[in-house]
């Protein structure tokens, strides 16, 4: 399983109904909450999502995507990250997929 790696500059977004565009800056994006819509520009080292009904669209994910919770959506345009859908392991439905750039 992927190990979490943090570095200075990781982006933490916690809340409800946040609509934000961020620069991943080669770091990890961590989103916690519900109903957030995050556009991650540039290259993310990793993306981790917890909660429900969050939508993340990332330009590039280098290492891993880890999703906890239900009704999460994580789309990435480039990269070959490992994907770990913890919600699906518990019978929840999430969408994690590569999409055209």
Q: What does the domain layout of the chain look like in residue ranges?
A: 13-85
Provide mean pLDDT across the span 2-24: 82
Confidence of residue 44 (pLDDT cuts 50, 70, 90): very high
pLDDT at 9 over 90: no
Confidence of residue 5 (pLDDT cuts 50, 70, 90): low
* Ranges 2-11, 29-38, 51-60: which has the least confidence: 2-11
Average pLDDT value for the chain: 92
Q: Is 61 within 8 Å of 47 (Cβ atoms)?
A: yes
12 Cβ neighbours under 8 A, 6+ residues apart? 30, 32
């Amino acid at each position: 399983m992927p190990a979490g790696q943090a570095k200075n500059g990781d982006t933490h977004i916690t809340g409800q109904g946040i609509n934000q565009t961020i620069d991943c800056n080669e770091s990890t994006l961590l989103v916690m909450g519900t109903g957030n819509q995050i556009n991650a520009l540039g290259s993310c080292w990793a993306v981790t999502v917890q909660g429900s009904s969050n939508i993340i669209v990332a330009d590039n994910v280098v290492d891993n995507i880890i999703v906890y919770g239900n009704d999460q959506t994580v789309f990435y345009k480039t990269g070959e990250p490992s994907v770990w859908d913890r919600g699906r392991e518990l019978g929840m439905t999430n969408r994690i997929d590569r999409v055209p750039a």
